[in-house]
Chain A
Amino acid sequence: MSQNGHKVIGTRPIRHDGVDKVTGRAIYGADIQLTGLLYGAIKRSPHPHARIKHIDTSRAEAHPGVRAVVTAHDLPQIADKIADLGEAIVNLRDSSNNVLAYGKVLYKGHAVAGVAAINLHVAQEAVELIDVEYELLPHVTGVLEAMEDGAPILHEDMKTTSMGEETDKVSNIANHFQHKMGEPDDGFAEADVVIEREFTTQTVHQGYIESHNATALWNEEGQLTVWTSTQGAFAVRDQLAEILQMPVSKVKIVPLEIGGGFGGKISVYLDPVAALLSKKTGHPVKMTMTRDEVFEATGPTPGSYLKVKMGATSDGRLTAATAYMAYEAGAYPGSPVGAGAGCIFTPYDIPNVQIDGYDVCVNKPKTNAYRAPGATNAAYASETVVDEICEKIGMDPLEFRVKNGAKEGGRRADGPVHPRIGCIETTQAALNSEHYQSTLEKTANGKVRGRGVASGYWFNFNGGRSAISVSINPDGTINMLEGSTDIGGSRASIAMQLAETIGLEATDIKPYVVDTDSIGYTDVTGGSRTTFGTGYAAHATGLALIREIKERASKLWDVPADAIDFADGVFSYKDDAEKRGTFKEVASQAGDAGGPVVAQVSTNPDGSGGGAFATHVVDVEVDRETGKVDILRYTAVQDAGTAIHPSYVEGQMQGGVVQGIGWGLNEEYIYNDEGSMTNASFLDYRMPTTLDLPMIETIIVEVPNESHPYGVRGVGEVPIVPPPAALSNAIYDATGVRLRDLPMSPPRVQKAVAENGG
């Protein structure tokens, strides 16, 4: 028995998909093989910004083994249409132009044409035979440069929207918005300490190990089937239907196992091109990206510029905060600056706040969601300013956070009022942790050491549509079909919620992620919603099954259904001790009383419930001569609401921390003067390896989410938010130098330390 009277929730069963994954039997996108399969490749722009004057595909089409070539002229031209993909809002006309460039290329790597051939090598050779005539245009890759008057303009027809109104100004600034509450000027006047600092962050990629892939078959009756790895099969279906201008009923998406997504596998890239090539050839067509294509032509998360000002009284009360946040959208509007603005000051209760956000187009790939999109950039700025305030007023940074922590009834600057949340509990747990209470030697091995802390917030999407379909086997076990693709152990956590509800073991439930024709519409796995939202549906499914089994038992036992009790996994009739049985016992007989037992449930919870808070503590060791930062110890504390499967909660926390460490220390897109990324490989795009990290320690705090039957909060995203700020604060503690530009890579740290007499 776990805590809170739960039998399954809070335990750590082996995941249902685990054995197939560790033995290599799980089927991923690249494993698909079909009769008559052709292989596709993409012709990409070598220029960051150019007008396409002419595309000549004749040499490629004449090349032996080539079966078809497609360009944007094979795509229907569609009008502006806004679609909500769950973690990002997109304009489908932009999506279409991003899939195959129409008129202009807007970044190096922008797809221009697709080829299908008898094998990959022929397809790749044919790509080289496509002749594209470009008129080169000046390019801009930095967010502040792109905002200047006179900057090269990406979209000649795009006018800036400012404070909700479209202006007449053509610029790269797609949108400027403002959130304001209280009077910041008055708040700063009350403050004894005011700190204002500027920060920059660079473009970073999710770095999932599996590259994008799609295999499409457009059959003779116009039915399109696509096998792909995605975070949202229905989102892919709907995007394809729009981009290809066909009914959704003609599109079926078969989601395969996914080798990492982190937000980056929601938008489509290859799928429409593979579909067009299949339509043209009458064969199935398979496409997979190389790693450099993944870096240069999918959706990283943006570089940004932030200016943050915060004020506090000398007794440690925050009085005001302002932020100027400019985020790179990439080639098309839609950076996560809005999300960043909703998160930046949210761990604190501050009476006077103003936040200005700018969404800015630059000649880089269209950015996309990445684990708490926008929030990490924001926290890097706000959490290091908080650290500086604490230093100035001489207050412990975690005590300061407890004192100013967000709580029920307070509100975010962008509007919503907090329900019951675990912000203060999380910070208090970090303050009480053995790690934070331990002593750190300040020097060792000729190197200096320091400790830093930072907090973070992510909304969590406590809603969305989810469907579950179950059938009971003759032995009383259950097959559970769901539409939520599993990117982080959600099959197990959803099956466990169904098992808990009906009194079975987790292993009695066999969960399957199925195609879009086999289950009701289910929103993407994103926004940390799946264990919450599809778990919510699983609980409702359990209640439906209990009702149904009571009906069946009523027939089997010849007693009224409403006189049958269900408790502790046992159905019983109070007047007859013989008339009782476990769920399995009764369910296995139920088929005799009305046919097979099945249930289908769909849910769409209301979206309230509050988000996730995290506070991290890190100890670092800095080699002042080389600038290298080693992590000695790292503890992540987080409110999970209720941890359904604690191992997977811990795994999500550890994974988020590791990605945040990479972002903080080494990861960045490095551009040359020609607007070309120079490090599009895992050699020079430096993600941390296991040898760069200690075991990440975790402390799970459980403040149940009142809008979920089991108290679940999403856990996957917020752990990436604090690490860069925590590292900056730790590096300061070690060296006396504050770093305000990411990444805090060895050359940057060495230079900063040397310039400050270190």
Chain B
Amino acid sequence: MHAFDYATPESVADAVVMLSDHGENACVLAGGTDLIVQLRENRRRTDLVVDVKKIAELNALSYNVATGLTIGAAVPCYRIYGDAEIAAAYPGLMDAAKLVGGTGIQGRASLGGNLCNASPAGDTIPPMIVLGGEAEIAGPAGTRNVAVEDFCTAPGRTVLADGEFLVSLRFPAPAPNSGAFYRRFIPRNEMDIAVVGVGASVVLSGDGSSFVSARIAIGAVAPTPLFVSEAGAALAGQPVSDESIQRAADIARDAARPISDMRGTAEYRKHLTSVLTRRVLQGAVQRAKE
């Protein structure tokens, strides 16, 4: 690990100035559960670490049924699932927030950090995509919003330009008769990284017999978490049945572009994408009916 400076700005504007001054030689620290490891292992090198936890907007957490959910980029997972109202409204997001690292990690790790780390296997990213999440970005030119599915561009790379950083994540209020679900496959039961992760959200007809719409996103099977819009589109207007769900699962499998590595072969990952998509859709349907 190389020596670096450390700063704790208290406003978005101050952080933008610090980050702009240092360009690619600065990095943002929220929970630090990825960054500190990367610095210690020389996988990243930096001159300046900008700790954004003292900025009010990054610690905001609010929800109401009209406007939806806002999560500051540095809000740790435990605050999100510890809020009973939010947990009840977004169970699909909680599926992921509760399995990032372990209990200790969840006291520091944030959804914002998980997104900015841009791991193809980031557990919270597929559920944020299927819930229609939007990222609010601050930078030298002001703020801009980017859909979560467009945020990651390559492993470890995002749309954030020099001087920009993530302020918050926003999600619409859940629609009636909707449900979301996230599940990953890991060889163990905890403390592991996804071999494949799948998130799905569905909106059902009032009687629960057919899909009004659906969104499906898959993780660890492409250079970035992947929004498979065609899989969701194939469900719209279809009856809720094993056949329609299997068809969507096949589309998701075909969209997967995995590599073979020590966590699984490409063939195995494509197979798992189909299995998990089916199971996750069944789970989302179940929640929509509850």
User: Which residue of B is nearest A751, CB measured?
Assistant: B268
Q: Is B63 an interface residue (CB 8 A)?
A: no
Complex contact A124–B188 (CB within 8 A): no
Q: Is A169 an interface residue (CB 8 A)?
A: no
A688 to B265 Cα, complex, angstroms: 21
A625 to B185 Cα, complex, angstroms: 11
A-B contact pairs, 12 of them (CB 8 A): A628-B185, A630-B189, A670-B262, A678-B261, A686-B188, A689-B188, A691-B191, A692-B190, A746-B195, A746-B268, A747-B264, A747-B265
From A125, A666, A670, A751, B187 is in contact (CB under 8 Å) with: A666
B residues within 8 A CB of A626? 185, 272, 275
A684 to B192 Cα, complex, angstroms: 8
Q: Is B271 an interface residue (CB 8 A)?
A: yes
B residues within 8 A CB of A630? 189
B residues within 8 A CB of A124? 1
User: Which residue of B is nearest A693, CB measured?
Assistant: B189
> Which chain A residues numbered 312 to 343 have a C-beta less than 8 Å away from chain B?
none
Distance (whole angstroms) from the CB of B249 to the closest CB of chain A: 11
A residues within 8 A CB of B2? 125
Complex contact B187–A689 (CB within 8 A): no
Distance (whole angstroms) from the CB of A496 to the closest CB of chain B: 36
B residues within 8 A CB of A684? 193, 262-263
Residue interface bits A86-128, CB-to-B below 8 A is 1, else 0: 0000000000000000000000000000000000010011000
A666 to B268 Cα, complex, angstroms: 16
Binding site for A on B (CB under 8 A): 1-3, 185, 187-193, 195, 261-265, 268, 271-272, 275
Complex contact B187–A745 (CB within 8 A): yes
Given contacts A679-B262, A683-B192, A684-B262, 18 further A-B contacts (CB under 8 A): A121-B3, A125-B2, A626-B185, A626-B272, A683-B193, A684-B263, A686-B188, A688-B188, A689-B189, A689-B190, A691-B190, A692-B189, A692-B190, A745-B187, A747-B264, A750-B268, A750-B271, A751-B268
> Which chain A residues numbered 670 to 693 have a C-beta less than 8 Å away from chain B?
670, 678-679, 683-684, 686, 688-689, 691-692
A689 to B99 Cα, complex, angstroms: 14
Residue of B187, B189, B265 most packed against chain A (CB within 10 A): B187
Complex contact A692–B263 (CB within 8 A): no
A residues within 8 A CB of B263? 684
A630 to B193 Cα, complex, angstroms: 18
A745 to B195 Cα, complex, angstroms: 13
Complex contact B275–A625 (CB within 8 A): yes
Given contacts A670-B262, A678-B261, contact A747 B190 (CB under 8 A): no
Distance (whole angstroms) from the CB of A159 to the closest CB of chain B: 36
B residues within 8 A CB of A688? 188
Given contacts A683-B193, A750-B268, A750-B271, contact A666 B262 (CB under 8 A): no
User: Which residue of B is nearest A290, CB measured?
Assistant: B41
Complex contact A746–B190 (CB within 8 A): no
A271 to B275 Cα, complex, angstroms: 51
B residues within 8 A CB of A751? 268
> Which chain A residues numbered 622 to 657 have a C-beta less than 8 Å away from chain B?
625-626, 628, 630
A689 to B191 Cα, complex, angstroms: 8
B residues within 8 A CB of A691? 188-191
Distance (whole angstroms) from the CB of B205 to the closest CB of chain A: 27
User: Which residue of A is nearest B279, CB measured?
Assistant: A625
